[in-house]
Amino acid sequence: MTQINLTVDGAQVSDDVEPRMLLVQYLREKLGKTGTVIGCDTSNCGACTVHLDGTSVKSCNVLAVQADGSEVTTIEGLAKDGELHQVQESFRECHGLQCGFCTPGMIMQSVDLLKENPNPSEQEIRLGLEGNLCRCTGYHNIVKAVQHAAAQGGAS
């Protein structure tokens, strides 16, 4: 076992973990952060996307021990004081989801995209989300949601 210390959604946590435990498993199984979805375990779908020290990563591709000393933000940590993050609100308002399975990863990647580019074109949004798969939609409403979030100042 290896001890890790990190901040998850603003809370300090310390745990002993198996060195081979994935960050997605740690978040879900040890911390109960089930909004971080296990989709493929191969880093292809992006459903497990979280922010690691402010940058989006696919948590099925990161060992929990690699996050030692870091700050992790999950989909559960985006909302503040009971208010949805602007990107979450835009996905709700623009119907940027269907079954919802990919939504946490899409939102986390969209937040990172808007942080890097607060006013992306449709093409830039599609390129920025290309590592996140949605099996239900044609991405139209997802792109619309990101555009709406950008117009509302969604990077913050």
Average pLDDT of span 82-90:
95
- The answer to whether residue 154 scores a pLDDT higher than 80 is no
Q: Is 69 exposed, middle or buried (0-12, 13-18, 19+ CB in 10 A)?
A: exposed
Domains contained in the chain, CATH given: 2-73 (3.10.20.30), 86-152 (1.10.150.120)
72 touches 81 (CB < 8 A): no
pLDDT value for 155: 64
Q: Residue 50 is inside which H or E element, if any?
A: strand 49-52
* Residue of 142, 151, 87, 86 lying closest to 119 (CA atoms): 151
The pLDDT tens digits for 104-151 are 999 999 999 999 999 999 999 999 999 999 988 779 999 999 999 999
Q: Are 65 and 15 in contact (CB under 8 A)?
A: no
